[in-house]
Amino acid sequence: MTAEPTTGKRPAGEPLLSARDVVQEFVVRERGGGKAGVVQAVSGVSFDVMPGETLGIVGETGSGKSTLARALLQAPRPNSGSVVLRGADLTRLRGRKLLQARRHMQFVFQDPFGSLDPKWQVHSIVEEPLIAYRSGDRTARRDRVSELLDLVGLDPVRYRKRHPRELSGGQAQRVAIARALALAPSLIICDEAVSSLDVLIQAQVLNLFEKLRAELGLSYLFIAHDLALVKQVSDRVAVMYLGKLCEVGPGEAVYREPLHPYTRALLDSIPSTEPGAKRASATIKGEPPSPINPPSGCRFRTRCPRAADRCAVEEPIPRELMPGHLVACHFPLSEPAAPAAAAAGRALLTEGASIEAADPA
């Protein structure tokens, strides 16, 4: 599904990142080495990220969000499709050319302590990309490290000689962000970058991301399982299910008027903060199917209360039902369900059943 930016006035110029028909599959081996199957982790995903834009990607555990992010970085390289960053197709680059192009796209991971070397001091962690890309002499790099730490709200004098174990979770994530900024990238991929932090620290780090976007003109690909959180920070939201994008639109529109039944289910799983409000009692039941053997036609049909015979044999084609709001569904929520879907809906809907958004493995 190709997502067109539609929040307010469309950003001028060409997309900063353009992914087209990205496919990432992994062969599963048996103990004896034979082929047991193929995991279809990402299946034909397409979207654009415009300069200065934040695109949020949301979905359950196993939907392919993190695999898609790594495919964009070519780590590993996708099986097929194109990933064009600043005019260069990363899937066609090798060696040093790929290394140079990839400096414009950096990663912030979920667990800062897992991504930072515990034996290194903060200044060495932040300086490492500068050394790898031979950027400046020792004095210039030292000044750059101080500038970056100050930029993310850490006093260089107090923190540059600390080790990760001497930092709080929020401080460690700020160090990870400073490291990601070292090479002045255009795009930062945040893969569950705040999910391991408590609510107060989450808010502080999200404010930092927004401040950096305003000051540095950054673009973000913000990946999370929490639709409310993604909506809060994103200009547009893309909803992913079992390796495919099923809905893409302006954040507020997706949150207030979802078009895909799966998006509605994700929203129903969010506890309400309104006094006296009741949690939605009817969404969908069951676990996502295995990506080794996904359902034919629409991949969501085995859990969808609106599914009909057509859904089993025909893959839905993305269509724009509202300005800039695309959905891949034969029977979207803005249209009446097909009569044949009624029995299936009654069978699938259960009192109190819901999709639970869980942290990815």
For position 269, what pLDDT does the model report? 82
CB neighbour list of residue 8: distance below 8 Å, 6 or more residues apart: none
CB neighbour list of residue 97: distance below 8 Å, 6 or more residues apart: none
For position 274, what pLDDT does the model report? 58
* Six token digits for residue 17: 């990142």
What backbone torsions phi and psi does residue 26 show, to the nearest 5 degrees? -130, 135
CA dihedral 107→108→113→119, nearest 10 degrees, is: 40
What backbone torsions phi and psi does residue 307 show, to the nearest 5 degrees? -65, 145
Which of 126-140, 284-298, 327-341 is predicted most confidently?
126-140
The CA-to-CA distance between both ends of the chain, in Å, stands at 26
CA distance 127 to 138: 10
Nearest of 68, 55, 66 to residue 238 by alpha carbon:
55
| Percentage with pLDDT > 90 across the chain | 73
| pLDDT of 217 higher than 60 | yes
Nearest of 52, 3, 1 to residue 251 by alpha carbon:
3
Averaged confidence pLDDT in the chain:
87
pLDDT band at 338 (very low <50, low <70, confident <90, very high): low
| pLDDT of 12 higher than 60 | no
pLDDT band at 211 (very low <50, low <70, confident <90, very high): very high
pLDDT average, residue stretch 320-338: 85
CA distance 87 to 5: 18
pTM, to two decimals: 0.85
What backbone torsions phi and psi does residue 219 show, to the nearest 5 degrees? -115, 150
pLDDT band at 350 (very low <50, low <70, confident <90, very high): very low
Q: Is 348 left (phi over 0), alpha (psi -120 to 50) or beta?
A: alpha
pLDDT band at 287 (very low <50, low <70, confident <90, very high): confident
CA-based torsion, 81, 261, 255, 63: positive or negative: negative
| Percentage with pLDDT > 70 across the chain | 86
CB neighbour list of residue 137: distance below 8 Å, 6 or more residues apart: none
- Tell me how far the alpha carbon of residue 135 is from its chain's centroid: 30
For position 228, what pLDDT does the model report? 85
pLDDT band at 336 (very low <50, low <70, confident <90, very high): low
